[in-house]
Structure 1
Amino acid sequence: MLAPAEQLPPALAEPRRAELVVAVHGGPAIDAGDAMRAGHRVGHDLGVTYPGRRAVVLLLSEAERAPLVPADPRLPPPEVPLLPWSHPGQSALEATLRAGELFDAAAVALVVAGGEEELGGGARHLLGPVVADGFDLACPCYATQRYEGVLATGLVYPFTRALFGRRLRQPLGYELALSRRAVSHLLGEAWQADPAHAGERLWLVSALLSGDFRVAQACLAVRPPRLGEAGADLAASLAQVVGLLFHEARLHAATWQRVKGSRPVKTYGEPALPSGEAGPPQLEPMRSAFQLGHQELQRVWSAVLPPQTMLALKRLAREPEERFAVDDALWARVVYDFAVGYHLALMDRALLLRSMTPLYLGWAAGFVRELSALPPEAVDPRVERLAHAFELAKPYLISRWRWPDRFTP
C-alpha cells in the first residue's frame, strides 16, 4: 500500500550522505509492517550505539517501486532516517553494496528481518568490528543446533577454511557488515573479475578472503528463520552452493595454493547456546540414497574419483547401519576430487554436481549418527576435527590440481 505523504514518519527525509548504512531485507515471507518494525529497532539501536554519527536504515524491496507503509503509532519516532529502498534485478547483497557506495558510507551492514527483538542488536554487533576496530568484513556466527546447517558444516566451512586459511565458521550467512574499502574492492576489481557471480555470498567472502582484508565474526544468538540452506530439491540446492564454491576455487587458485594451515579470526561476543534441540533426521533414507547412487552412478563417479576411493565407497555401501560412516580423510578427498573434476570439466558440470548428492547424503548419515551420540560440548570439537582433515588433505588437492594426469582415474 502506498501511504499518503502526511502519514509517513517525519524521519523519512532522505539524506545525501551517511556514515553508517544498514539494509534490512525481509523477503516474501515478511510483511511490510514487520519490516518497518524491524527497521525501527535497528534505527533505535544505531541511534543509541552511535550518537552523533549520521546513519540511515534502508528497507529493501524487490518491487519496481518500494511500497511505503504508514508510521506505526505504537512505535517511537526512529532515531535515524528509515527509507524504503527498491532494488529490482539486484540481490539484497548487491543493493547493500551499491547503497553504501551511493551514501559514501564508512560501514554498511545487511541484516534479515525475522521479527526478533534482537535484530537491532545483531546489526550493532556486526558493525562493531568494522566501525570500532577497522575490520573489512564481519560475518555472523549463529547459535545453531547440532543437526542444523549440515551442508555448511560438512562442506562449505572446511573447504573454505582449508583453501583460504581463515576459520570463518559460517561463511554462508545472509547477514554481514563491510568497510568502505571492502565495498570499493567488491564493486570494482572483484566485480570485473567475476561479473557472472558478483552479488553472491560466496563470491563476496572468497573475494575478500583471497585478498589483504581483515576479517572477523560476531556471535549472534538469533539465526534468521529464512536462512534455510536447502529447498525441496536437495540436488539442485547442493549443486548451486557447491558449484559456486568450486567456481571460486578456480578463480582464486593462484592464491589458495600458497596458503598453508589456517588461523582463527577474531570473534566478538560469546557463543550462545541454541534454545531447544530438534531430533535428528531419518538416517536410513539417507544411507539408502547413497547405496542407490553407488549402484547407478558408477560410470560418473569413476570418471572423477581414483580407484582407491571407488574401492572405499564400495566397502562403505556394504556396511550395516551401525557401522556406516565416511572417514573424514576420505570425505575430504572426495570433495577435492570433485573440485578438480569441476575445474577440468571432465563431464557436464551440472551432471557432475548433481551426482554428488548421494555422496553427500552418505557422509551426512554417518556424521549425524555420530553427532547424536555426543554431548553438546563435544559437537564443535568434532566439527573442528573434520575441518582439520580437510587441511591435512590439501596437498592432495594441490597435487591433483597442478598435475591431473598423474591422478587419472
Structure 2
Amino acid sequence: MKFSSALRPYVIKRVEELERADLVVGIPCFNNEKTIAHVVQMVSHGLKEYYPQLRAVIIISDGGSTDDTRDVAKEFQLKPWQEKIVGIYRGIPGKGTALRMVLQSAHMLNARACMVVDADLRSISNRWIQALLDPVLSHDFDFVAPIYTRYKYDGTITNNIVYNLCQAVFGKKIRQPIGGDFAFSNRLVQFYVQQDVWETDVARFGIDIWLTIQAIMYEFRICQSHLGRKIHDAKDPSEHLGPMFRQVVSTLFALMEQTERSWHNKTGAEQIPVFGEMSTDEPDPIPVNLAKLVHSFKMGLDHFGSLWEQIFCEDCFAAIKTAARMDVSKFRLPQDTWVRVLYELAGTYHNWPSNRRRLIDLMTPLYYGRVASFVNETKDMTSLEAERLVEEQAAFFVDAKDYLIQAWDNPRTCSRDFLAEAEEL
C-alpha cells in the first residue's frame, strides 16, 4: 500500500492548528526510551538559548516503539513558546519514512530551517542546535552536515567506504555523509518532499546518504559544522554492522547509477566550508572483536572465493588470499587492494543483471577484512592520529578514480554459470 504522506490524521491536525513555524527539529526514533528525554531536553534548551525569538516545533517521529519512548517524549516539558508533536509515522518502516514525516511537517509549516538529530545521542548539547541551524539562518546554506570527534573504530563504514566515494565519485569532501544529524533550508525541504523515493528502499535504509548526494547533485549550498564528540549507541563492527554495510553500499551504488552523467568525468574533490573548531578530546573507546572480524573474512573466502576470483582482478584476488593466511595480530588487507576491490565491486554491481542485494551480501566479508586491517594499522594510534590514515585513504580513492571508470565501463565478464552459482549461495 502506498501513502502520499507519512503524517497520520492526528499529526496533520496538530500541524494545521499550529499553521506556521520558524524552526522545525525532527527526532526520528525507535525504542529509544533511555535517551529520548536527554535529546529532547538539549534541543529545547538550545532553542531557548540561541533562538528565543523564533517559533519552534519539535517533531518526535516514531517507528512504532514497543518500549516507552513515546510516553517519555510526551511527558517532557518544553520551554515556553515551543511546541511538540509526538506521533507514529505512516508508511514503509525505516528511518527514511521517519524523516519524511519531519520534512512534510516542516513543509506544511513553511519553516525557515529544519534540523534532524538521532534519538540515541548521549553527547548532544544545546550548542549543537546553534552549530547546525546558524549556517542556514545566518549564512544562507541549504545543507549542513556534521563533523564529529569520534573514536577511531566508530564509523567504520563512513571511514572505509562512504567518505571515500563521496570525494572520489561526487567530488565533495564531506566528512560525515551519513552522520544522521543535519540541517536544511526551506528551499531544500521543498525539494526533498517532492522527490519520488519515499515508497522505495530509500525509506527503509540509506536515507542519510540519499539526502547528502541529492544536495550535492542538485548544487545546493553545502557546509559542515563541528559538533564535538559523538557518543551514541555505537556498535561493534564484527557484531552489528553487516546489514548496514549492505544497505549503505547498495544505496550508494544505485545513486552512482542514477547520477552517472554528472560524475563520470569529474575529477578531484572540493573542500566544503566548515564552521566551528575541532575538538581534540579523545573519545570514549569502542570495543572491537578483531578475531571475529578476521574469522568472518576468512570464512568469506572459503565460501565465496570462486566468485571473488571471477569478480576481482588477479592482483586483488592474490592479495585477498595472502591476507587470509595471516594471523589475527598481523592481519592486513592493504589500502590499495581495498580501493581496487571496492571500485571493481561497483563496476560489477553496475553491470549485474538481477538480485544485486545478493552480490553485496557476497562482499560483506571483505568489509570485515578491511576493518580488521584498519584496527591493526591504528592499534597504537590516538583517534586523531588514525584520522590522518583515513584522510590518506580518501586521497588514494580520489587519485585512483580512473580505475573506477575503467571498472564501471569495462567490467570483468560474468558468465551465466557464475551468476547461477551466486544465486545459489
TM-score by length of 1: 0.85
The letter for the 1-side match of 2:200 is: A
Match of 1:196 among 197, 200, 218: 200
Aligned to 2:40: 39
Q: Which amino acid in the other structure matches residue 89 of structure 1?
A: G
From the superposition, tell whether residues 325 and 19 of structure 1 become closer, same or farther in structure 2 (CA, over 3 Å): same
Contact 1:297 1:355 in 2 (8 A): yes
Identify the residue that residue 332 of structure 2 maps to in structure 1. 325
- After superposition, the Cα gap between the structure-2 partners of 1:54 and 1:365, relative to the gap in structure 1 and judged at 3 Å, is same
Q: Which residue of 2 aligns with 1:15?
A: 18
Closer, same or farther: CA 170–203 of 1 in aligned 2, 3 Å: same
* Alpha-carbon distance in structure 2 between the residues aligned to 1:117 and 1:315: 41
2:99 is the counterpart of 1:93: yes
- Structure 2: distance between partners of 1:315 and 1:118: 43
Alpha-carbon deviation of 1:63?
Answer: 4.8
Cα shift at 1:353: 0.7
Paired AA for residue 345 in structure 1: W
* Structure 1 residue 374 displacement after superposition: 2.3
Q: Which one of 139, 145, 152 corresponds to residue 146 of structure 1?
A: 152
One of 175, 179, 182 as aligned partner of 1:169: 175
Paired residue total:
392
Q: After the TM superposition, which residues 10-409 of structure 1 pair with which residues of structure 2 at under 5 Å, given as runs?
A: 14-30=17-33, 35=36, 38-63=39-64, 77-89=79-91, 91-114=97-120, 116=122, 118-188=124-194, 191-192=195-196, 196-199=200-203, 200-223=207-230, 225-226=232-233, 228=235, 232=239, 234-274=241-281, 276-278=283-285, 281-321=288-328, 323-345=330-352, 348-404=355-411
The alignment's C-alpha RMSD in Å is: 3.1
TM-aligned CA distance change 1:14 to 1:69, over 3 Å: farther
Task: Give the match for residue 7 of structure 1.
Answer: none
* C-alpha distance in structure 2 between counterparts of 1:354 and 1:160, whole Å: 22
Mapped to 2, the partners of 1:235 and 1:286 lie a distance apart of: 11
Q: What is the Cα deviation at residue 348 of structure 1? A: 3.5
TM (normalized to structure 2)?
Answer: 0.82
Query: Mean Cα displacement is larger for which, 314-323 or 392-401?
Result: 314-323
- Matched residue type, 1:269: G
Structure 2 unaligned spans of 5+: 1-14, 419-425
Change (3 A) 1:279 1:62: closer
User: CA separation in 2, counterparts of 1:37 and 1:83?
Assistant: 17
Residue 77 to residue 316, structure 1, CA distance change in 2 (3 Å):
closer
Structure 2 distance, partners of 1:46, 1:346, is 50
One-letter amino acid of the structure 1 residue matched with residue 118 of structure 2: V
Secondary structure in 2 matching 1:146: coil
CA distance in 1, matches of 2:123, 2:335: 39
Matched position secondary structure for 1:372? coil
1:53-110 C-alpha deviation (Å, 9 max, x unpaired)? 332222333459x7697766xx674342233344232622111211111101121011
CA distance in 1, matches of 2:184, 2:78: 29
Shift of 1:116: 4.6
Q: Which residue in 1 is equivalent to 2:5?
A: none
Q: Matches of 2:293 and 2:233 in 1, distance apart?
A: 24
| 5+ long unaligned stretches in structure 1 | 1-11
Following the alignment from structure 2 to structure 1, what is the Cα–Cα distance between the partners of residues 354 and 100? Answer: 32
Aligned equivalents of 2:279 and 2:264: distance in 1? 35
Equivalent pair of 1:60/1:87 in contact (CA under 8 Å): yes
Query: Residues 44 and 79 of structure 1 are in contact (CA less than 8 Å); yes or no, is this contact kept in structure 2?
Result: no
Find the aligned partners of 2:221 and 2:73 in 1 and give their Cα distance: 38
User: Structure 1 residues 351, 60: CA separation in 2 closer, same or farther (over 3 Å shift)?
Assistant: closer
- Distance in 1 between the 2:173 and 2:62 partners? 33
Partner of 1:5: none
> Whole-Å Cα distance in 1 between the matches of residues 107 and 296 of structure 2?
47
Deviation of the 1:193 alpha carbon: 6.7
Q: Residue type matched to 1:105 in 2?
A: A
Where does residue 8 of structure 2 map in the other structure? Answer: none
Shift, 1:399, TM fit: 1.9
How far apart in 1 are the matches of 2:391 and 2:170?
16
Matched residue of 1:28: which SS? coil
- Amino acid in structure 1 at the alignment position of 2:40: G
Range 127-136 or range 270-279, more displaced: 270-279
Letter in structure 2 aligned against 1:245: L
Preserved CA contact (<8 Å) 2:32 2:119: no
- Percent identical residues: 26
Deviates more, 1:18-27 or 1:385-394: 18-27
Asked whether the equivalents of residues 238 and 289 of structure 2 are also in contact (C-alpha less than 8 Å), the reply is: no
How far apart in 2 are the matches of 1:21 and 1:364? Answer: 37
Amino acid at match of 1:237: M
C-alpha spacing 1:109/1:229, structure 2 compared with 1 (3 Å): farther
CA deviation map 1:294-348 (0-9, x unaligned)? 2321222123212232222223323445543222221111011111111111663
| Distance (whole Å) between structure 1 residues aligned to residue 157 and residue 276 of structure 2 | 25
**Matches of 2:386 and 2:57, distance apart in 1:** 39
